[in-house]
Structure 1
Amino acid sequence: MLDGPVLETERLRLRLPEERDLDGFVGLMSDEVAARHIGGVMEAPLVWRQLCTIIGHWAVRGYGFFSVEEKATGDWVGRVGPWAPHGWPQPEVGWSITRAHWGKGFGPEAAAATMDFAFDELGWDSVIHLIAPENDNSKAVARKLGSVDQGRTAEVPGFGIQAQVWGQSRADWAANRERIRR
């Protein structure tokens, strides 16, 4: 098992993914609506491979998607964090929240914590979010973070789709992070 950072917000704990998270990942990836923009519905064996890829990303890059847990219940909420697989246009902060937890503000809360991590701990100068053009929920999260549509698209390697590139600079985040926490 890898050792790594644990981020905490008022309501959430973000930690490295582990095999015990498989049921949560399977739940996310078996929900047609929640999985629509992150590769589509997958059977459990493929989800297990995806979980191993995310854990491997931590081993190779030293960062990656966190497993997000609700502190009050211990429920697995989703995966959120910095991500830069081979061929990505630049490092991004991405999020995928289980549908049972939509509308609670967990996406922006967890993403804000990982934006801090990306800028403060990883030293990134800017962050992007690759968002499918029809994914209004993710656009809303990006707006809450203060990210803006960069006016360009990029291919999502391995998925064969074009995504809108949203994002912001370190300087933008310095101003936006205080507004978000109010």
Structure 2
Amino acid sequence: MRHAYPVPLPARLVRTGRLTLVPPGRENLPDLLRLKTDPRVFELMLHGVRSEERVREELEDDIDFWAVRGYGTWCVFRTDTGEFLGIAGLMERPDGRGVAMRFALWPECRGQGYAREAARAGLEFGHKAGLERIIAVAWERNQASQHVLRDIGMTECDAFEYRGRRMVVFESRR
């Protein structure tokens, strides 16, 4: 499915070899609803699969976060087709651990390097924006996400239990 994306302030738009990362706007709500209510994508994310109401709240929060911080979570599109692939970017963790890298793309994107490409772009953007330390959290059994985090230069630094699962914390320092 082809999706149009608006052209935001150039400093917030990120392009990689194959991807365009765009701060979310209200026009992205239909894509975000499909993504965040899909258990194949969000079951293992912090707070799990979202309700429609929660997706709407998170979109408003993301828009506000960008306005205040100058960084945040992007909607990820294939540059050549405009296809919505998912989200990637930076968020303040609600548990106080710090600013965290996150990414959630459609399962059909796995094995194509899109998550790695988007995560690397987000990490670089965050450090250029002045963030000294960026973390990421992955379930210990999610080897694919851990591989992405290691591949973009993040190192394991901590672990904790969450809902009966061991979570591994990675970090990147500028």
TM-score of the pair, normalised by structure 1: 0.80
Equivalence for 2:19 = 12
Kept in 1: contact 2:159–2:166 (CA 8 A): no
Structure 1: gaps of 5 or more residues: 171-182
Tell whether the 8 Å contact from 2:16 to 2:117 is kept in structure 1 after alignment: yes
Aligned pair 1:164/2:168, yes or no?
Answer: yes
Equivalence for 1:179: none
Aligned to 2:81: 73
SS at match of 1:141: helix
**Are the structure 2 counterparts of residues 148 and 85 from structure 1 closer, same or farther at C-alpha, using a change threshold of 3 Å?**
closer
Distance in 2 between the 1:152 and 1:128 partners? 12
Looking at structure 2, the residues matched to 114 and 42 of structure 1 have their Cα atoms a distance apart, in angstroms, of: 23
**Helix, strand or coil for the counterpart of 2:172?**
strand
1:92 to 76, 80, 100: 100
In structure 1, the partner of 2:52 is 44
Aligned length: 166
On the 8 A contact 1:89/1:154 being kept in 2, the answer is no
Query: What RMSD, in angstroms, separates the aligned Cα atoms of the two structures?
Result: 2.4
CA contact (8 A) 2:25 2:63 kept: yes
* Identity in percent: 25
Offset at residue 98 of structure 1 (A): 1.8
Q: TM-score, normalised by structure 2?
A: 0.83
Cα offset for 1:126? 2.2
- CA shift, 1:61, in A, is 2.1
CA shift digits 1:39-82 (9 cap, x unpaired)? 32223222111222211211232211011111111111111112
Separation in structure 2 between the aligned mates of residue 109 and residue 15 of structure 1, nearest angstrom: 14
One-letter code of the match for 2:31? Answer: G
User: 1:147-169 deviations in whole A, cap 9, x for unaligned?
Assistant: 121133387xxx99763211222
* 1:13-162 aligned within 5 A: 13-38=20-45, 39-85=47-93, 87-120=95-128, 122-153=129-160
Question: Which structure has greater helix proportion?
Answer: 1
Where does the alignment leave 5 or more consecutive residues of structure 2 unmatched?
Answer: 1-5
